[in-house]
Amino acid sequence: MKKVFIQHWPFVIFTILVGFFSGFGQTYCLALFNDVISELTGLKLNSIAKVYGFATLGAAFLVPVSGYLIDRYPLKVIISIIGIGLYGSFFLLGIANNIYLLFVAYLFIRFLGQSSLPMVGDTAVSKYFGQYRGKLLGFKNLGKSLGEGFIALLVIYCLSQTDFKFTSHLIGLGFLVLLIPFSFLLLKNFKEKVHYDEKEHVKKVRKKYDFFTAIKEPRFMILVLGNLALGFVLTGVFFHFKFLINYQNWSKELWAGSFIFYSISQLIFTFITGFYVDKKGSFTFFYYKFVPLIIGFIILLLFKSKFACVLMFISFGISVGMANATGTSLYAELFGEKFLGKVGGVSWAIVVVSTAIAPSLFNFLLENYGVKLTLCLIIGYLIFSSFLLRYSIHLYKKEKK
């Protein structure tokens, strides 16, 4: 691993950079603008949730296009398209004073920021660094974790010092003056080819697939349906965090500050899981990743202290860290690198559809059934999803015997 880092440190830093900037397209960041957007557009929170949901749904249909392009074009081209697109999207968000402009801004922020940018880093690592995939995904997610630890605090600080328009335009400008130039510099001498092949234990169990055979199998859909729970649940929770902090009598600052613990725990468990993924493969850990998330929601349900907020975010971070190290890695182990972007695009599109539904569905549940029952439903759903993942892995392992 030391040799890999010495030879390819610019690429590693590139993946960290991509991971950090992807945070601006995630719900935990965009939800902080809800109150301001409500004032500017005159929309209530449930209406903003619907716009956000429909925009995310539209983004889901565009995600396979990103996967296709990532498989065909150089990283510099993809990053340029994404960076310019996100600059325009955040500029539009800053001036959005009606439902139509808001929809377009959300659509491209979710498509490019939530989906395409993370896919670039994940796919590049999984394609080109087979036997070191788990550890390098850990470094890639260092940037994602830093974003989750500091972006929420940065946005709250900017909103306290200036207005929403300036804050949004400043974020957009960051993609032009930081992401694109630094990506070009870091990728200057990087050759987009397989630098390190798979370990023998992965080669022995991998079946030869073509793209359409892989995605048509029922077990693939079972795998994806089980896998989408993490993004679906956290999108709903982060978007409607005000219900939870009111229920627990927590402050907005405590919520945002706890993302630092979420970031740290996520980072630690991305590296820990990545280390074991490189030794034993992704299968062993994939279906355990919801266990810490379930524990986090039990803490949220039963305890009301400020320390409970921190423990909850630590639990969330552990689950996300495990998911970071096993997600794309598992697809690479199952299907190979040739059409990894397209397989990832299809899978991610289904996940994004679920995150499109989450804001409106959670709004309905929280308003009509309250926080306590909603949390019980979430816990039950996560347990069910864990069994789906375990069953799907059983089906793939059964074939390999």
Band of residue 3 on the pLDDT scale cut at 50, 70, 90: low
The reported pLDDT for the residue numbered 200 is: 47
2-400 sits in which CATH class?
A: mainly alpha
Amino acid at 373: L
SS3 label, residue 336: coil
pTM for the whole structure = 0.71
Per-residue pLDDT of 237-283, as tens digits, reads: 888 888 888 888 888 888 888 888 988 898 888 878 777 776 766 66
Q: Please report, for residues 38, 67, 339, the alpha-carbon distance to residue 211 in angstroms, rounded to integers and kept in the order given.
A: 43, 12, 7
The reported pLDDT for the residue numbered 346 is: 72
The reported pLDDT for the residue numbered 205 is: 44
Between these two residues, 348 and 75, which has the higher pLDDT value? 75
Per-residue pLDDT of 291-348, as tens digits, reads: 999 999 999 988 888 899 999 999 999 998 888 777 666 776 676 666 666 666 677 7
Band of residue 44 on the pLDDT scale cut at 50, 70, 90: confident
Percent of the chain scored above 90 by pLDDT? 22
Q: Is the dihedral of CA 186, 188, 190, 193 positive or negative?
A: positive
- What's the CA gap between 131 and 120, in Å, rounded? 19
Alpha carbon 49 to chain centroid, angstroms? 19
Place of tokens 């929601």: 297
Taking the domains of the chain in order of start, what are their residue ranges?
A: 2-400
Contact predicate 215/346, CB 8 Å:
yes
Per-residue pLDDT of 111-130, as tens digits, reads: 998 888 888 877 777 777 66
User: What integer is the mean pLDDT of 94-107?
Assistant: 92
Q: Please report, for residues 53, 83, 86, 149, the alpha-carbon distance to residue 93 in angstroms, rounded to integers and kept in the order given.
A: 16, 15, 10, 23
Long-range contact pairs involving 296-300 (C-beta distance under 8 Å, separation at least 24): 297/375, 297/378, 297/379, 297/382, 298/379, 300/244, 300/248, 300/375
